[in-house]
Amino acid sequence: MVTILILYTELMPYNIVVIKELVKKGCCVHVVLQDTNKKTPYLPPLLDGVTYYNRSVFRDPDHLFRLVKNIKPDLVWTAGWIDPLYNEICRMIRQRLYLPVVAGSDTQWRGGKQWLNVLTSRFRQRRWFTHLFVAGERQVKYAQKLGFREDQILIHNLSADTDLFSRIDVNSRRGKYPKKLLYIGRFSPEKGLTYLLKAWMTILDRKGWQLLLVGNGPEKEKLSGFPDVEILDFMEQKDLLRIMENSGVFILPSVFEQWSLVLHEAACAGLPILASNCCGATVSFVKEGKNGYLFVPANVHSIRESIEKVINSTESEWLSMGMNSRKLSLKITPERVADTLLTVL
């Protein structure tokens, strides 16, 4: 039996589906996870074959290293390099136990302050980790800049719950196609919702389409009071299924987004997709004219053009785009993430 130690910040449902796949493949999984200063109230479910430990329990690296020696893992998977304790433990594991240590990264290469990591990676990232497990193609460049070789870079470390979101029958929209343009996410400045609303207001003939915003955040009050715009609070995934099934197109107007897992979920749900071209996941899940359209972030004219292209299409075109989204979504699955991780053994 393969034993895996995961050092993580906050687990989310999309992490759980990968952990379940690892257990299915006969792995015993131990997870140290953040339990203080959490950004979400989500609590991971109890699972056979999985043991959780609270990050706050460990006083220092030596304390956590004792747990590592007791677990005797074959592989360590850590969430990037944001946590100094995890970084030190990874260094100790490499130097004393000689195990593969895989770090996740969803960060695109943008230059600027990232050059400091490039210049110091020989003493930091490449000393802590044997491999980087990146989200997609735009993240590969950063891994290469850090000095990791091709055989040390794994790709596609994040997956939507493809089984869950694929339950939606794309053809159920036939004959009664829902004219709802859907956004799901935080209501915060980096998501570009103010630009989306400005674009929406410049479309004089919306042809019966409505804009549906699902989420929560500091900009919620700014988004209220616009015609043909409905706002719903953030909800559990099972409720999102119903919302997605009764929507016609997904839109993500982010000013910048490293990856954006919600694009994978929307593709699984068989929705045509409109998105800012800066979002990392668009490389995998949006093909111009095939299943959606890309626009320039924070550009009202570009956003409006993309919306008008899709609302001026026909039902057969919407259905065809939705089926293309579904096909693209199956390029990455929880099983493939688990299989890729295990290739380091």
pLDDT tens readout for residues 76-116: 999 999 999 999 999 999 999 999 999 999 999 999 999 99
Q: According to the model, what pLDDT value does residue 205 have?
A: 93
What distance in Å separates the CA atoms of residue 30 and residue 76, rounded to the nearest whole number?
Answer: 10
Q: According to the model, what pLDDT value does residue 39 have?
A: 77
Q: According to the model, what pLDDT value does residue 59 have?
A: 87
pLDDT tens readout for residues 301-318: 999 999 999 999 999 999
What distance in Å separates the CA atoms of residue 299 and residue 154, rounded to the nearest whole number?
Answer: 34
3-state secondary structure of 62: helix
Q: Copy the structure tokens of residue 215.
A: 């989420």
pTM of the full predicted structure?
0.94
Q: According to the model, what pLDDT value does residue 95 have?
A: 95
Q: How many CA atoms lie within 13 A of 88 on its CB side?
A: 11
Phi, psi of 228 (to 5 degrees): 60, 30
- Tokens 């493939």 correspond to 336
Q: Mean pLDDT, to the nearest integer, of 176-185?
A: 96
Q: According to the model, what pLDDT value does residue 174 have?
A: 94
Model confidence band, residue 20 (pLDDT cutoffs 50, 70, 90)? very high
pLDDT, mean over the chain: 95
Model confidence band, residue 237 (pLDDT cutoffs 50, 70, 90)? confident
pLDDT tens readout for residues 205-234: 999 999 999 999 999 988 988 999 999 998
What distance in Å separates the CA atoms of residue 181 and residue 229, rounded to the nearest whole number?
Answer: 9
The residues, any chain, with a CB within 8 Å of residue 344's CB and separated by 6 or more, are 75, 100, 102, 130, 131, 154
pLDDT tens readout for residues 190-203: 999 999 999 999 99
pLDDT tens readout for residues 279-306: 999 999 999 999 999 999 999 999 999 9
Q: Which residue has the higher pLDDT, 60 or 37?
A: 60
Q: Mean pLDDT, to the nearest integer, of 235-256?
A: 94
Q: Mean pLDDT, to the nearest integer, of 22-35?
A: 96
> Among 124, 102, 101, which residue's Cα sits nearest to residue 114?
124
DSSP collapsed to 3 states, 121-184: CCCCHHHHCCEEEECCHHHHHHHHHCCCCHHHEEECCCCCCHHHHCCCCHHHHCCCCCCEEEEE
Q: Where are the alpha helices (DSSP H) in 229-285?
A: 237-245, 261-268, 282-285
Q: According to the model, what pLDDT value does residue 236 have?
A: 85
Q: According to the model, what pLDDT value does residue 42 have?
A: 83
Domains assigned to the chain: 3-159+332-342 (3.40.50.2000), 167-329 (3.40.50.2000)
The residues, any chain, with a CB within 8 Å of residue 113's CB and separated by 6 or more, are none
Q: According to the model, what pLDDT value does residue 36 have?
A: 87
